[in-house]
A and B are shown apart, each in its own frame.
Chain A
Amino acid sequence: MFRTDKMNSIESSERTVVRVAAAGSEADPPEAVKRTDARVVPVGSTGVTALEPLVAVTRGGRTAFHARCSVDRLEGVVAAAEEADDVTAGDPDAVVDHDPDATRLPAVDLPGLSAGRRDVLGACGWRRPTSADDHEAAGGFADHDAADVFDAGADLRGRGWGDACHDDPVGESWATARDADGDAAVVVNAHGSPADALLLASAPLEVLDGATTLADAVGATEVVVYASSDDARAVETAREAVEAHPDPVVPVEVVTGPPEYRAGEPTMALEAIEGNHRLEARLRPPGPERVGLDGRPTLVHTPRTLAHLAVGLRGDDGDEGGDTRLVTVRGDVETPATVELPETASLSAAVDAVDVDGTLKAACVGGRFGGLTADLGVAAGPDALADAGLGTEGVVEVLSEGRCLVEFVGRRTRYAAEENCGRCVPCREGSTQLANLLRDVYDGEYDPEGVAELVGVMERSSICEFGVNAGRPARTATTEFALEFEAHADGQCPAGNCFDAREAPEVTTST
């Protein structure tokens, strides 16, 4: 057997390829492994960190997976496979047969990785995050007609609150930006969403491909990737990917903003990129697609939206067809996970991908200001979620049996009161008064109509989505879990948390 790197993309027909998927730093493989013929390649996280480091040993069309495989174990696994000339040696946790040229992580029967599809997440845990060769081998960096791009934009809906087209088809704003005066810009807003941070860290070229393709189609002159300074790895990987991009049509730069939640709001993202020391939302209309970064027409999309564009354009979105959604499950779970579900699949499929701490009582669906529900039978698509009064942020926060929902909602509302940008009355004063209404419950005054009236006004008159959504936890909880609020008004906490906590105000840390 001879060693050659004639192809720089990962290729396993002639020698074994060992992928090590992890979110953390790439430890150097042990010397003993390096001396074998196997080629060890670090790849990004799959999204299911509970399995990591996940080692995938591939030869031709067969891959053996070893979950939570330490560097020490790696040596044994590789040695066994090489010795037996059989990837399935070394007692793997799962073995999968697939297309020998597979460019996506094949479906594998491991907890978390068997859920849903892997279209947009295909590169995560399979291709090297910053390898242009791997991305090209998967059909990336193709040229696309502007007309095709606009066709794709007609059906594509913006993902997440950081997207200026949250839940809306993006095409119209693309046409506006293309036709507006001034040099357009594309902003990739990766701030604050776990799925977006995952894409930037594990599949940044997918995101950049989408962004530069869009920039080309609308005639933009610049792409700015914006992320939280807290997502160090995502930022670093994005910077490397920009370097690795063989032929970006426009200059791409990576900029970080402060880690506060509000800094992910699309117009606050623009303020941060422009260098303002204090962030507050801008008025609209006109939206950023007409007047955005430095006054130029600007398209603000999340990595999720842009990766969906890139994958959709090359027709790589699976055999089943239909749109998918990235869903991150966190909260009272052993280890958080991000999976990809068809829009028609129910959220419970995502929750099945994790180990819940205890039993599930409810979930906060739709991010920081998601809606509370005990029914996870609702489909992952935005319309079904909106019909159920839930949020579409792509995050399901699991709340286990011991949780008091009145407390949860109270804390979330107080968070809104302290973390909003301070600009508009319905959000700034409204969230403070909403927290007061929720505090009054503990004094026996529960006013569900007052809560509904206030939340309605916050939703309909706040400047940005922060305030529009800030009352959602309270609105959904007071309708779906009214009994729990009534019990508190009677001095009882069904979960047994609140009234003790009140007498003994001790610092509790439960995360």
Chain B
Amino acid sequence: MSSDRSEVDVPPLTEGIAPGTATDPDVGSDEAATVTVDGTDVTVPAGSTLLDAVDAVETDGYVPALCHYGRQDIGPRSECRTCMVETESDGVVPACSFPAEDGAVVDTDAGEAAEARDVNLDLVLSDHNLRCTTCGKNGRCELQDASIDQGVEEPRYGVLDDRDQYEPLDDSSSFIQIDRNKCILCNRCVEACNDVQVEGVLRMEGTGNDTRIGFQNGAETMEDSTCVSCGHCVTVCPTGSLVEKGIENATTIPIPGFNQKNSIGKTYENTDSTGSSGTVGRSDNQMTPQKRDQRTLESEEAPPESDGPDVVDPASEVWDDERRDWP
């Protein structure tokens, strides 16, 4: 049943690509619209979101719209929620994914929307390793820009500063370095890799605070993935999470021994450079990109047989919190 469904309507080229993300509807407006943003009328074409109108004027409140890309049909992922604005008809909405409807009145300065942008930007920072001085994107980072423009001085929830919580740096590819501690999960790289390049390498995986970008073939490192090193993901990444090799230390303060790698502490190296195999680094001569079909749902199997009184046992939960300690 469900497995049949997944065959339906999947263009042959993308069959087997499993980015792990939801199929969003088209969020643009049906027709051209005139929208009032902070008192200024703006006319935007069909297919526009409120952010298109917001971007066209000098707004009263700063709207970081951090995860928005707006090119190459990438996004809107609409995950950072630093683009919340107040509308007269629908209350506080995310500008980047809300259709621009004719007659909409937008207020960027409204307290609840401004507070939401502010808190959400701090929430992004709370999960971000803010070691800018050793970051290859220092000075050309969209998160840095947004934080400066927003006037962030002391993020409410701090920053990701606990080395024990850091994910190892993935330095295994000869072309691209991944520092997931700087990832804001904007999904741009996943879309670039799957929807633009149609390579089917990157995916979103995990849930809750374990959500991360990973590889569709299940590899732990870039080297073992099916990456063809086209570099598209690097060009769309807003932060220092995906950086081209060779410039990962370009902006590091010139003190010997002070670099991106030791800012993290743990690194996946290229297996060639660690001498564990005689082959050339996989990323140089990618041979057989094995695209895995992950579009299967284990639940497709018949539900497990059970003869106990299972229906009205509302206490049954998958996740048993009671078994773990608190605080």
- Interface positions of A (Cβ within 8 A of B): 22-25, 44-45, 47, 49, 52, 194, 197-198, 201-202, 229-236, 253, 255-262, 267-268, 271-286, 290-291, 294-295, 328, 330, 336, 338, 395, 407, 410-412, 414-415, 417-426, 428-433, 436, 438-439, 441-442, 450, 453-454, 456-457, 460-463, 498, 501-502, 505, 507-511
Q: Which residues on the B side are within 8 Å of A421 (C-beta)?
A: 207-208
Chain A residues near B6: list those with CB within 8 A. Answer: 274-276
Known A-B contacts A261-B318, A290-B25, A418-B209; the reply to A274 vs B5 at CB < 8 A is yes
B313 vs chain A, min Cβ distance (A): 8
* Partner pick for B319 among A261, A279, A422, A423, CB 8 A cutoff: A261
A and B contact pairs by CB, cutoff 8 A, 24 listed: A25-B307, A45-B311, A201-B312, A231-B303, A233-B306, A236-B303, A256-B303, A267-B22, A273-B5, A275-B5, A277-B294, A277-B295, A278-B294, A283-B76, A338-B312, A395-B314, A411-B324, A422-B209, A424-B78, A424-B80, A460-B112, A502-B327, A505-B325, A509-B322
In the complex, the answer to whether B209 meets A417 with C-beta atoms within 8 Å is yes
| Given A197-B312, A275-B2, A422-B185; A257-B327 close (CB under 8 Å) | no
Q: Are A285 and B318 in contact (CB under 8 A)?
A: no
Measured in the bound complex, the distance between the Cα atoms of B180 and A211 in whole Å is 46
The 6 A-B pairs of least Cβ separation, nearest first, read A422-B211, A194-B314, A275-B6, A24-B309, A291-B25, A278-B20
Chain B residues lying within 8 Å of A419, measured Cβ to Cβ, are 207-208, 319
| Contact (Cβ within 8 A) A511 B311 | no
Q: Which residues of B contact A463 (CB under 8 A)?
A: 78-79
**How distant is B27 from chain A, measured CB to nearest CB, in Å?**
6
**Contact, CB under 8 Å: B298 / A258:** yes
Residues of A within 8 A of B154 (CB): none
- For A439, the chain B residues whose CB sits under 8 A away are 327
The answer to whether B84 touches A460 (Cβ under 8 A) is yes
Report which of B3, B123, B204, B327 forms a contact with A278, defined as CB distance below 8 A.
Answer: B204
Q: Contacting A414 at CB < 8 Å: which of B76, B81, B321? A: B321
Q: Is the CB of A509 within 8 A of B323?
A: yes
Q: Are A257 and B297 in contact, CB atoms less than 8 angstroms apart?
A: yes
Contact of A507 among B5, B119, B307, B323 (CB under 8 A): B323
The listed residue with most A CB atoms (<10 A of its CB), out of B5, B76, B78, B303, is B303
Q: For the complex, what is the distance from the CA of A190 to the CA of B317, rounded to whole Å?
A: 15
Contact A283 B2 (CB under 8 A): no
Tell me if B62 is interfacial: C-beta within 8 Å of chain A.
Answer: no
The stretch from B94-102, B191-199, B219-227, B273-281 touching chain A is B94-102
Residue in chain A with minimal CB distance to B119: A457
Contacts of A260 in B (CB 8 A): 318-319
| Chain A positions within 8 Å of B305 at CB level | 232
CB distance from B149 to the nearest CB of A (A): 18
- B 168-203 contacts with A by CB, 8 A: 185, 203
Complex Cα gap A273–B3 (Å):
9
Task: Tell me which residues across on chain B come within 8 A of A415, comparing CB atoms.
Answer: 319, 321
**Residues of B in contact with A (beta carbons under 8 Å apart):** 1-3, 5-6, 8-9, 18, 20-27, 76, 78-82, 84, 91-92, 94, 97-99, 112, 115-116, 119-120, 123-124, 126-127, 156-157, 185, 203-211, 294-300, 303-327
Residue of A nearest to B308 (CB): A24
Asked if residues B296 and A461 are in contact (CB atoms below 8 Å), the reply is no
Contact call B319/A454, Cβ cutoff below 8 A: no
Known: A423-B79, A425-B81. A461 touches B311 (CB 8 A): no
Is the pair A230, B97 in contact by a Cβ cutoff of 8 Å? no
B307: chain A residues at CB < 8 Å are 24-25
Task: Please name all residues of chain B whose beta carbon is closer than 8 Å to the beta carbon of A274 when the two chains form the complex.
Answer: 2, 5-6, 23
The answer to whether B78 touches A426 (Cβ under 8 A) is: no
Q: Check A410–B309 contact: CB distance below 8 A.
A: no
A430 and B123 form a contact (CB under 8 A): yes
B26, B185, B309, most chain A CB atoms within 10 A = B309
A82 → chain B, closest Cβ, in Å? 28
Q: Give the distance to chain B from A369, nearest Cβ to Cβ, in Å.
A: 13
Which of A201, A273, A422, A454 touches B207 (beta carbons < 8 Å)?
A: A422
Chain B residues lying within 8 Å of A417, measured Cβ to Cβ, are 208-209
Complex CA gap A231/B115 in Å reads: 41
Complex: how many Å from CA A460 to CA B211? 22
Question: Closest Cβ of chain B: how far from A92's Cβ, in Å?
Answer: 23
Contact in complex: B24, A460 (CB < 8 Å): no
B238 CB to closest chain A CB (Å) equals 14
Q: A461 with B209: in contact, given A273-B2, A274-B6, A411-B326 (CB under 8 Å)?
A: no
- Separation in Å of the B130 CB from the closest CB of chain A? 14
Bound-complex Cα distance A235 to B317 (A):
17
Instruction: Answer whether A275 and B25 are a contact pair too, CB < 8 Å, given A294-B9, A457-B120.
Output: no
Contact between chains at A410 and B84 (CB < 8 Å): no
Chain B residues in 8 Å Cβ range of A511: 315, 320, 322
Asked, given contacts A282-B24, A284-B25, A290-B25, whether A456 binds B299 with beta carbons under 8 Å apart, the answer is: no
User: Are A275 and B295 within 8 A (Cβ)?
Assistant: yes
Contact A424 B327 (CB under 8 A): no
Instruction: Report whether B99 and A277 are in contact in the complex, using a CB–CB cutoff of 8 Å.
Output: no
Partner of A257, one of B119, B156, B299: B299
Residue from B82, B313, B322 in contact with A510 in the complex, judged by beta carbons closer than 8 Å: B322
Cβ B314 vs Cβ A229 within 8 A: no
- Residues in A whose Cβ lies below 8 Å from that of B98: 285
Contacts of A257 in B (CB 8 A): 297, 299
Q: Are A410 and B310 in contact (CB under 8 A)?
A: no
Once the chains bind, are A282 and B25 in contact (CB under 8 Å)?
yes
The chain A residue sitting closest to B115, CB to CB, is A457
Instruction: List residues of chain B with CB within 8 A of the CB of A255.
Output: 1-2
Task: Tell me if B115 and A277 are in contact (CB < 8 A).
Answer: no
- A286 and B25 in contact (CB under 8 A), knowing A272-B297, A276-B295? yes
A470 to B309, CA, bound (A): 30
CB < 8 Å neighbour of B5 from A47, A52, A201, A294: A294
**Is A461 in contact with B323, judged by CB distance below 8 angstroms?**
no
Which chain B residue has the least Cβ–Cβ distance from A201?
A: B311
Query: Does B306 lie within 8 Å of A232, measured CB to CB?
Result: yes
Which residue of chain B has its CB nearest to the CB of A124? B312
**Is there an interface contact between A422 and B325, defined as CB atoms closer than 8 Å?**
no
Contacts of A197 in B (CB 8 A): 311-312, 314
A492 to B81, CA, bound (A): 38
Q: Are A424 and B116 in contact (CB under 8 A)?
A: no
Known contacts A24-B308, A418-B209; decide if A275 and B297 are in contact (CB<8 Å).
yes
- Asked if A422 and B124 make an inter-chain contact with CB atoms under 8 angstroms apart, the answer reads no
By the criterion CB–CB under 8 Å, are B314 and A407 in contact?
Answer: no
